[in-house]
Amino acid sequence: MSRGERASALCVALALATVAAFGSFAGFEFVNWDDRVYVTQNAQVQAGLSLETARWALFATDAHNWHPLTWLSHLLDVSLFGVDPVAHHRVSLVLHAATSCLLFLAFLRMTGALWRSALVGALFALHPLHVESVAWVAERKDVLSALCFAVVLLLYARYAERPSAGRYAAVFVALALGLGAKPMVVTLPFVLLLLDVWPLGRVRLAPAIDWRRLGALALEKLPLLALSAASSAITVLVQQTAISIAARYTLADRLGNAVVSYARYLGAAVWPVDLSISHWHPGGWPLATVLGSALLLAAISAFALRALRTRPFLAVGWLWFIGMLVPVIGVVQVGEQAMADRYMYLPSIGLFAMLAWGVDAFVPAFRARTELLAGAAAVALLACAWLTHAQTEVWRNSDSLWRHAHAVDPHDPLPLEVLGVLAEEGGRQAEALGYYQRSLAIDPRRQNAQYNLGNLLRWFGRPNEALGPLREAIRLRPDFARAYESLGHVHRDLGQPAAALDAFQKAVELEPRGANAQYNLGLELLRAGRAREALAPLRTAAELRPEFALAYVAQADAHAALGERAAALAAGEKAVALARAQGDADLAARIESHLATLEAGN
């Protein structure tokens, strides 16, 4: 069998092993963490792929990211499969399997080492750290950018063999597509420079490093670096809200967490247990933990760099791992997490290369007997596949996902908060109340948990108790429009119309496109005897939500209060027609009864 035939056979085996490890995704659902933003509650994505939605995808900054290729992928999925979660999961799996094969082929082309390259591809395919990227529909951006990443490696290997403008342009375009899927690949020009050192051998290392040649190769990457810089600037711009949420962490907190997270990522790669969607940021780590992590990283770095001339794959793999994590390591904190399993999707490849090329160099028994090496690799891959299959099951639905996260770390407040939301959605309000209270007992600074607790206390008929959490949510996040709206309801319940009016006005000021807030502002103005002023927000509510029957009822009340009988009748008829069109006969009957009372009063 020729090398090409063996490579093809290994690609097929790799793809089949990947599918077997992850399973068929039968019975899997969308989860309640970002899947709603990306698919199930995104009106643009729900519309499917068209010229209009494609234009939207090119400029959208929803989910605090600019990634048009990712949006186009979700749009295409909806056009092909509708909102079938199983199909969306399977597309991500196909992309992951394809990337694994392309990585194998890229390393094979760069090194000529069939089995070592296959091991890198297999570890990428089967490592349980990668489950989050594959099994989470909202992380389509991960698998899509990784596919482009692998294509860049292949195209760059081809360019390095015989440089030309056309081959460089192909690398440039592939990188642009990768950045259009997820900005995580901004470090790819850095990775290509590492590959120039090893395995492409474009830089002489012995008897001394050719720094002039290395500088020339760095200059060669300037167009790619410019592309990455532009993507980085856009990302920082659109992620301001997520960055501001994490502003409570000091620079010392962030630097300490970055050092500890590097060590934790390394540990998860070697011993992938207790993986979770949530890794809570504790703020400041104990000094001993930070120093121990720093010493570990310094020792490995020194060892890898000292071996640069004799075993360059160690330095290249280690710097790949360190460098690719820089954008997400938390020095610039985005969100609340200390670390995330998905962030290791591409950085882990550097560690896999270190293992594939280094294990027999440091274990004499493997050098002497290749069958031992093959056996050890097979056992490791089988263990990875087994753990991956188990971890994939965690992502079956929202309940299993967050119960697992809570089991991994019972002191993490986020799973408790989300389990509270799930309990509330399931009609288990008392259980939800307990979850919110436990979450806030761990971290009182959680504005969403404070908001949810306040709403739930109001639902229980305890408006006086609801005031505290809602005010705290607003203190923690002054632009929290929905919290102001809820606060308005509580003041209304307590018979405090002036305070209710102020709260609804603030909600509308912060979120003018909030139909409910506009409606409630209109109602409060109407109750205050300011019917003429009430019409503007009530009309805005109806414009924002054309099916909003109650907004037309309130308009009818306002017109009636102003003595405008014809306008009141027209608004009332519109409300009845909307209720009937929605198939809500009870609402239509209630509106008709209300209008009859209104007419009798006139």
pLDDT single digits (tens) 525-539? 999 999 999 999 999
231 has a pLDDT exceeding 90: yes
Q: What is the pLDDT of residue 3?
A: 78
In this structure, which long-range contacts are made by residues 468-471, counting pairs with CB atoms below 8 Å and at least 24 apart in sequence? 469/440
* Closest alpha carbon to 171 in 92, 227, 101: 227
Q: Which CATH architecture has domain 512-602?
A: Alpha Horseshoe (1.25)
What's the average model confidence in pLDDT over 218-241?
90
> Tokens standing for 506?
């603030």
The identity of residue 549, as a single letter, is A
pLDDT tens digit string along 486-512? 999 999 999 999 999 999 999 999 999
Least confident window among 385-389, 417-421, 537-541, 594-598: 594-598
Phi, psi of 374 (to 5 degrees): -65, -40
pLDDT of the residue at 84: 97
Are 120 and 9 spatial neighbours (Cβ–Cβ below 8 Å)?
no
pLDDT at position 246, please?
A: 57
pLDDT confidence tier of residue 591, bands split at 50, 70 and 90: confident
Instruction: Give the pLDDT confidence score for residue 602 in this predicted structure.
Output: 58
Domains 411-508 and 512-602 share a fold: yes
Q: What is the mean pLDDT of residues 40-64?
A: 93
CB 224 within 8 Å of CB 168? no
pTM exceeds 0.85: yes
pLDDT of residue 64: 83
Which string of DSSP letters, residue by residue, matches 257-281?
Answer: HHHHHHHHHHHHHHS--S--S--B-
Nearest to 26 by CA among 95, 89, 94: 89
Residues 6+ apart with CB under 8 A from 597: none
Q: Is the pLDDT of residue 172 over 60?
A: yes
**pLDDT tens-digit series, residues 152-165:** 999 999 999 999 99
DSSP code string of 154-209: HHHHHHHHS--HHHHHHHHHHHHHHHHH-GGGGGHHHHHHHHHHTTS--S--SSS-
User: In which residue are the tokens 């089949």 written?
Assistant: 16
The confidence score (pLDDT) of residue 4 equals: 82
pLDDT for residue 470 is more than 90: yes
In the predicted structure, residue 344 carries a pLDDT above the cut 90: yes
As a whole-number percent, the residues of the chain with pLDDT over 90 amount to 81
What per-residue confidence (pLDDT) applies to 211? 93
**What ranges do the domains of the chain cover?**
3-399, 411-508, 512-602
Residue 244 predicted with pLDDT over 60:
no
**Residues 275-304, mean pLDDT to the nearest whole number:** 95
User: In 3D, which of 258, 156, 246, 160 has the Cα closest to residue 203?
Assistant: 160
The pLDDT of residue 375 is 85
Q: What pLDDT does residue 366 have?
A: 59
Distance CA 3, CA 6 (A): 5
For residues 253 and 257, give the distance between their C-alpha atoms in angstroms, rounded to a whole number: 6
Task: Concatenate the DSSP letters of all residues of 277-308 into one string.
Answer: S--B--SSPPHHHHHHHHHHHHHHHHHHHHTT
| 411-508: CATH number | 1.25.40.10
Q: Decide if 454 contacts 469 (C-beta within 8 A).
A: yes
Average pLDDT on 55-83 reads 94
